[in-house]
């Protein structure tokens, strides 16, 4: 019996060797398989490292301020240079404010709900939103849900996807990970978009997962800035959703239920900028012109900050002309240590150039904001890194308004009170491990 059992795998192994050694043209089957494997591997590497938006090296000079009439159009020249008038933005801080506001809006929906997220994970928060969306679908509301294949794919149970579909929601993944399009593997939708009846919108940095619960009042409750949008700018948010939904489903959402007439809801002049594949990267140009236009203050909060050499140059040049430049970053609470290592390599040049760095201490800070001279403000989904600039699909809101700029400055000041200063001495004293990780991630700087 023992001899018979040992003989079977030996025979099978011999047959496999014979099959692989069999000639197919000039090469053996094994040879062809090795070539195919090499080509697929090369395509994967190419798709990850080289398929990206065109990015322009841009170091504008200080020629006007953010209050100059030429500023807004100049900053948005690669996107939409015309500001949208008549808007209202309500800032929603952390999960305690953002989640109830969005759930209330979903419950009030009468015709359409369009929801796109990078992160929707199974758990308490995910369950609340899945249940709310399903309930409105059962009530006859058209509900569409689009999630990113990487951000949500592995952490969202298949049974929760089935709940959405069986409950009447239309569902799609943006660039599914199981698709055969290798060129799409690395191009993820990092957007957060929720539009109710085409009239009320939400966007910002929040993820629909349990980490965003609470009020940044515990180490596992993240600090975040999200926003409720009202007014004509909501149509731009809806158009961003339509863009991705059309790509994946071929369904056009051109109807009054999605694009109703929008009356002014406030006094804000705004713009919504989308990062889209195979286009010029508009966001870095907005950031560059804004930084170059600063005359008094630049206040940046960003969780994954790996500035380019151009951005380091612009920030340190701003310091030279008397601008106070402050950047607020995560401290010990950081969910992406390799990204932090990639960004830390630029800390020395920033600090030597007079830029002030701070680390948020209570918990992970995930807010993505910029305020220039208390007049121009930006928030949304983009990080200050190459990935947001040239690879990910992002959505960001910019506002030119002194009252809103002052509100954003006040938000930055409150977060700064809970932070510690990171000085040049701290950078010089970093550990051997920190220095090693900075070196090891250099080839992957564009991906982190």
Is residue 419 included in any domain, yes or no? yes
Q: Which residue has the tokens 């340190």?
A: 316
Considering the domain architecture, whether residues 136 and 147 belong to the same structural domain is answered as: yes
Is residue 25 included in any domain, yes or no? no
Residue where one domain finishes, among candidates 230, 249, 269? 269
Residue where one domain finishes, among candidates 205, 238, 269? 269
Residue 136: partners with Cβ closer than 8 Å, 6 or more residues away: 106, 107, 109, 113, 143
Burial class of residue 12 (count of CB atoms within 10 Å of its CB; 0-12, 13-18, 19+): exposed
Contact call for residues 323 and 290 (beta carbons, < 8 A): no
The first and second tokens of residue 182, run together, are 């290798």
The first and second tokens of residue 161, run together, are 């996807």
**Core vs surface per residue 334-354: b (16+ CB within 10 A) or e:** beeeebbbbbbbbbebbbebe
Residue 137: partners with Cβ closer than 8 Å, 6 or more residues away: 143, 167, 168, 169
What is the pLDDT at residue 13?
62
The CATH number of whichever domain residue 399 belongs to comes to 3.30.870.10
Cα–Cα dist 74/416, whole Å: 31
Is residue 386 included in any domain, yes or no? yes
Considering the domain architecture, whether residues 249 and 259 belong to the same structural domain is answered as: yes
The first and second tokens of residue 186, run together, are 């690395």
Considering the domain architecture, whether residues 304 and 414 belong to the same structural domain is answered as: yes
Is residue 355 included in any domain, yes or no? yes
Is residue 12 included in any domain, yes or no? no
- Phi, then psi, of 7 in degrees rounded to 5: -75, -35
Cα–Cα dist 303/141, whole Å: 36
What is the pLDDT at residue 1?
42
Considering the domain architecture, whether residues 372 and 314 belong to the same structural domain is answered as: yes
The first and second tokens of residue 322, run together, are 């008397």
* Domain boundaries, position 104: 86-269
Considering the domain architecture, whether residues 296 and 203 belong to the same structural domain is answered as: no
Q: How many structural domains compose the chain?
A: 2
Considering the domain architecture, whether residues 300 and 213 belong to the same structural domain is answered as: no
Tens place of pLDDT per residue across the chain (448 aa): 444 444 456 766 666 666 556 666 666 766 767 777 777 666 666 666 666 666 667 899 999 999 999 999 999 998 899 999 999 999 999 999 999 999 999 999 999 999 999 999 999 999 999 999 999 999 999 999 999 988 887 789 999 999 999 999 999 999 776 655 555 666 788 899 999 999 999 999 999 999 999 999 999 999 999 999 999 999 999 999 999 999 999 999 988 999 999 999 999 999 999 987 666 778 889 999 999 999 999 999 999 999 989 999 999 999 999 999 999 999 999 988 888 888 898 999 999 999 999 999 999 999 999 999 999 999 999 998 877 777 888 999 999 999 999 999 999 999 999 999 999 999 999 999 989 988 888 776 666 6
Considering the domain architecture, whether residues 175 and 305 belong to the same structural domain is answered as: no
Considering the domain architecture, whether residues 66 and 92 belong to the same structural domain is answered as: no
Is residue 44 included in any domain, yes or no? no
Considering the domain architecture, whether residues 239 and 276 belong to the same structural domain is answered as: no
Is residue 422 included in any domain, yes or no? yes
- Model confidence, pTM: 0.88
**Core vs surface per residue 215-230: b (16+ CB within 10 A) or e:** ebeeeebbbbbbbbbb
């Amino acid at each position: 019996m023992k001899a018979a059992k040992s003989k079977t795998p030996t025979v099978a192994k011999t047959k496999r060797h014979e099959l692989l050694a069999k000639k197919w043209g000039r090469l053996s089957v094994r040879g062809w398989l090795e070539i195919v494997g090499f080509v697929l591997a090369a395509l994967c590497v190419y798709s990850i490292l080289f398929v990206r938006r065109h990015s322009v090296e841009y170091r504008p000079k200080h020629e006007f301020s953010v209050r100059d009439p030429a500023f807004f159009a100049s900053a948005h020249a690669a996107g939409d240079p015309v500001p949208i008038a008549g808007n209202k933005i309500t800032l929603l801080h952390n999960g305690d404010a953002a989640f109830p506001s969005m759930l209330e809006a979903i419950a009030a929906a009468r015709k359409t709900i369009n929801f796109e997220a990078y992160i929707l994970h199974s758990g308490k928060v995910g369950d609340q939103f899945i249940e709310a969306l399903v309930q409105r679908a059962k009530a006859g509301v058209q509900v569409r849900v689009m999630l990113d294949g990487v951000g949500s794919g592995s952490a969202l149970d298949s049974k929760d996807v089935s709940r959405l579909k069986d409950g009447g929601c239309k569902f799609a993944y943006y660039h599914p990970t199981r698709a055969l399009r290798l060129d799409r593997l690395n191009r993820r939708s990092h957007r957060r978009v929720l539009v109710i009846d085409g009239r009320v919108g939400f966007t910002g940095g929040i993820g629909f997962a349990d980490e965003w619960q609470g009020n940044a009042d515990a180490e596992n409750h993240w600090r975040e800035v999200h926003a409720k949008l009202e007014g004509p700018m909501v149509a731009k948010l809806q158009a961003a959703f339509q863009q991705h939904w059309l790509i994946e489903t071929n369904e056009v959402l051109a109807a009054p239920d999605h694009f109703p007439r929008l009356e002014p809801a406030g006094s804000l002049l705004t713009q919504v900028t989308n990062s889209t594949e195979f286009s010029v990267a508009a966001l870095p140009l907005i950031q560059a012109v804004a930084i170059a236009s600063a005359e008094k203050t630049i206040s940046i909060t960003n969780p994954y900050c790996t500035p380019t050499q151009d951005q380091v140059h612009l920030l340190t040049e701003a310091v030279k002309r008397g601008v106070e430049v402050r950047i607020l970053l995560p401290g010990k609470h950081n969910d992406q240590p390799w990204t932090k290592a990639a960004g830390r390599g630029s800390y020395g040049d920033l600090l030597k150039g007079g830029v002030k760095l701070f680390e948020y201490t209570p918990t992970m800070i995930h807010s993505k904001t910029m305020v220039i001279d208390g007049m121009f403000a930006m928030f949304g989904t983009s990080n200050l890194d190459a990935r947001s600039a040239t690879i990910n699909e992002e959505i960001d809101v910019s506002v030119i308004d002194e009252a809103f700029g002052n509100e954003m400055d006040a938000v930055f000041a409150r977060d700064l009170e809970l932070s510690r200063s990171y000085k040049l001495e701290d950078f010089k004293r970093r550990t051997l491990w920190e220095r090693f990780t900075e070196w090891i991630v250099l080839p992957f700087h564009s991906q982190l």
